[in-house]
DNA sequence: TTACAGGTTAACGCAGCGTCAAGGTCAAGG
DNA sequence: CCTTGACCTTGACGCTGCGTTAACCTGTAA
């Protein structure tokens, strides 16, 4: 089976330009060039391309893919783990970014119109410091390896604990608000809706992404989960269902 | 207060090259050019640079920053939310990548030496399909806006529920394993360690990043948290402390 | 006067292709 | 035989956000 460049591209779901580029950088050369100068690819090339696509899928650079595929002694296992670390770092940075953006949105929602330049500057400076620490930390890690990774982890631990404390506080708030709201008997009452809103905040301490649908889905599951049901029903039987209804109302998922 | 290019760069913690580049693309022009052809920046420029840095920090492109800062009618709120969506998408992709890398590592750890090309191909093709769906979904979203966002959310909801179910199953496993392990009375026993390991898996359903330190920290908190303590102690009083000790052992955090 | 610290413009380089430009090749149809 | 259209070729610029020479000018202290 011989493939033309476009057939090959179709198989892999990439462009012919990409194949030409791979030929150019020596990552994937065609099996032969026919009399008209056309690139012809064979089975071996299909296989190699699949390997390439695989590692590319994992976000490796074409250079590294070349290393991996050409050197048989290449420690792919180590490469994968290092790569994983890098991805985790990337994600941590992204998380910071997202948090910052969300913070900013909240700030704007708060309608704080007059925000002194000094304030902005302060917040910014803080961020700069954080960034520097991050960069510094990265350099250290690159230089000294694992020893200092623990330090970084400790930082994350600090964040997790902070997160956990925030969650615990929210939980207490939910509980007291729910107790009051339950007396109204109306899941649509402002107090009940406040409880649902607090519950949303609480969820956001644990979930990577909040959606109303998922929130509602969780609420439905709650009532069927003995642990949560027991927790919420402990003081006031029926509270779990009440919270569920409040959340369904809050998320607009009542049918 | 007039600043030279380097003073300005120092204030903002960036390079002078960056300032020249911003001048070049018209993002930030100096207040004036002095007789020697030097760029001189004033207070207005400091302020604007801070704004630029702010949005840059949030991951906006310089082009968009220019839009935001130059058009007073620009809806920064909307821009922020759109940007947030994009970041979330990015993170979702990253999560996929990380999962794939981890899967691959497990595969390699499993010492499955002979892995037929077909198998590789299958897995890869699946991924292609997923990607196509993702791309398609993005296009749709761009074209039709919010309506279809719900569909995407439903997908995420599916993931969350799946995640939740996995967590629930793990929880059951932890409980039964813990019950058995408790009878041994030894938190270092294989069974107890298995429970700790399961608990780690369970944590990973909720946490963005797992570290031994955080796991141990959580274990310590557990005992002091009535909800979890009550949950684990319900059948066998002392189980919570036992689990904590098993986790401390598991994470090597015994002092 | 000599250093040395600072400024200037111009231009290449990076990753991974997308996207013309300008043309050659091949099979089908008039 | 000619045209048309699909497919192939090489070559080269463009994109992002600067880092990094290179080659040269300015200002000030010793």
B223 contacts on A by Cβ (under 8 Å): none
Three-class DSSP category at B33: strand
For residues A25 and B57, the model is more confident at A25
**Residue B38 CA, nucleotide D26 C1', distance (Å):** 10
Instruction: Give the whole-angstrom CA distance, residue A173 versus residue A60.
Output: 46
Q: What are the pLDDT digits (tens) for B193-209?
A: 888 888 877 776 555 45
More confident site: A90 or A129: A90
Average pLDDT value for chain B: 70
What integer pLDDT is reported at residue B92 of this predicted model? 78
How many helices (H) and strands (E) chain A has is answered by 11, 2
Write out the two tokens for B22. Answer: 């911003």
CA of A199 to C1' of C21 (A): 60
Q: How far is B54 from chain A (nearest CA, A)?
A: 7
Any B CB within 8 A of A169 CB: no
B205 part of contact set with chain A, CB < 8 Å: no
Q: So what's the pLDDT on residue B81?
A: 81
A-interface mutation test, from B78, B81, B93, B101, most A Cβ less than 10 A away: B101
pLDDT above 70: residue A236 = yes
For the segment B10-25, the average pLDDT, to the nearest whole number, is 92
Measured CA B60 to C1' C17 distance, in angstroms: 23
CA A81, A87, A90, A92 torsion-angle sign:
negative
Q: Which nucleotides of D are covered by protein (CB under 7 A)?
A: 7-10, 16-20, 26-27
Q: CA B18 – C1' D30 distance (Å)? A: 34
Looking at the predicted structure, is the pLDDT value of residue A38 above 90? yes
Q: Between A and B, how many CB-CB pairs are < 8 A?
A: 152
Residues at the strand C interface (Cβ < 7 Å): A 14-15, 17-18, 21, 35-37, 56, 61-63; B 4-7, 16, 20, 37-39
Burial-class residue A189 by CB neighbours within 10 Å (0-12, 13-18, 19+). Answer: middle
φ/ψ of B113, rounded to 5, equals -75, -50
Please say whether the beta carbons of A29 and A8 come within 8 A: no
What is the rounded radius of gyration, in angstroms, for the C-alpha atoms of chain A?
A: 27
- Kindly tell me if the per-residue pLDDT of A232 is higher than 60: yes
Q: Which domains does chain B have, with CATH numbers?
A: 5-70 (1.10.1660.10), 76-162 (no CATH), 163-250 (1.10.490.50)
Beta strands A32-33; B32-33: pairing state? unpaired
Of A79-83, A170-174, B202-206, minimum mean pLDDT range: B202-206
Conformation bin of residue A215: beta by default, left when phi > 0, alpha when psi is -120 to 50? alpha
C-alpha distance across the termini of chain B, in Å? 57
Query: Is B93 strand, coil or helix?
Result: helix
Instruction: Give the distance, in angstroms, between residue A63 CA and nucleotide D18 C1'.
Output: 22
Q: Is the pLDDT of residue A66 over 50?
A: yes
As a whole number, mean pLDDT of residues A174-198 equals: 84
List, for residues B161-198, the tens digit of each pLDDT value. Answer: 455 556 666 777 787 788 888 888 888 888 888 888 88
Check if the beta carbon of residue A212 is closer than 8 Å to that of residue A151: no
Residues making up chain A, counted from first to last? 255
Residues 99-118 (A) with a CB less than 8 A from some CB of B: 100-102, 104-105, 108-109, 117
Give percent of chain B above pLDDT 90: 15
The pLDDT mean for chain A works out to 71
Whether residue A217 lies within 8 A of chain B, CB to CB, comes out as: yes
- For Cα atoms B96, B101, B104, give the angle at the middle one, nearest 5 degrees: 125
What tokens were used for A105?
Answer: 């949105």
With contacts defined as CB-CB under 8 Å, which chain B residues touch A221? Answer: 161, 164
Measured CA to CA, the distance from residue A49 to residue A9 in angstroms comes to 10
Q: Is A51 on the interface with B (CB under 8 A)?
A: yes
Alpha helices in chain B (DSSP H): 5-12, 16-24, 43-57, 62-70, 76-109, 117-144, 146-184, 190-204, 212-224, 226-233, 239-250
Task: Decide if A168 touches B, using CB distance below 8 A.
Answer: yes
Task: Tell me the nt nearest to A52, Cα to C1'.
Answer: C16
pLDDT of residue A69: 87
d(CA B185, CA B69): 66
Mutation site, B90, B94, B111, interface A, largest A CB count within 10 A: B94
Q: Is the dihedral of CA B185, B186, B187, B189 positive or negative?
A: negative
Rounded to whole angstroms, what are the CA distances from A15 to A18, B124, B131? Answer: 5, 17, 15
Our measurement of CA A47 to C1' C28, in angstroms, reads 34
CA torsion angle A194 A200 A206 A212 (round to 10): 170
| pLDDT score recorded for residue A188 | 85
Q: How far is CA A9 from the centre of its chain?
A: 31
| Range from A94-103, A192-201, B9-18, B209-218 carrying the lowest mean pLDDT | B209-218
**C-alpha–C-alpha distance, residues B184 and A29, integer Å:** 62
Q: Does A50 touch chain B (CB under 8 A)?
A: yes
User: CA separation (Å) from B181 to A8, A36, B174, B199, B246?
Assistant: 57, 73, 10, 13, 10
pLDDT score at A120: 37
B84 CB neighbours in chain A (<8 A) are 98, 101-102, 105
Give the mean pLDDT of B128-134: 38
């Amino acid at each position: 089976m011989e493939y033309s460049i476009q057939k090959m591209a179709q198989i892999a779901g990439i462009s012919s330009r990409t194949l030409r580029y791979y030929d150019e950088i020596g990552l994937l050369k065609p099996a032969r060039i026919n009399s008209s100068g056309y690139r012809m690819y064979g089975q071996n090339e299909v296989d190699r391309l699949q390997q390439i696509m695989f590692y590319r899928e994992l976000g490796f650079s074409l250079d590294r893919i070349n290393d991996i595929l050409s050197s048989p002694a290449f420690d792919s296992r180590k490469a994968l783990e290092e790569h994983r670390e890098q991805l985790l770092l990337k994600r941590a940075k992204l998380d910071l970014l997202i948090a910052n953006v969300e913070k900013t949105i909240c700030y704007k929602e708060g309608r704080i119109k007059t925000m002194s330049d000094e304030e902005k500057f302060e917040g910014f400076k803080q961020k700069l410091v954080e960034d520097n620490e991050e960069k510094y930390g990265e350099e250290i890690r690159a230089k000294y390896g694992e020893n200092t990774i623990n330090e970084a982890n400790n930082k994350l631990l600090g964040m997790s604990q902070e997160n956990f404390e925030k969650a615990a506080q929210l939980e207490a708030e939910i509980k007291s608000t729910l107790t009051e709201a339950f007396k109204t008997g109306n899941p649509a009452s402002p107090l009940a809706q406040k409880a649902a809103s607090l519950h949303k905040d609480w969820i956001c301490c644990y979930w990577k992404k909040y959606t109303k649908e998922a929130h509602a889905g969780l609420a439905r599951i709650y009532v069927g989960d003995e642990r949560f049901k027991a927790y919420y029903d402990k003081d006031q039987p029926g509270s779990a269902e009440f919270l569920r209804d409040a959340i369904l109302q809050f998320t607009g998922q009542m049918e």
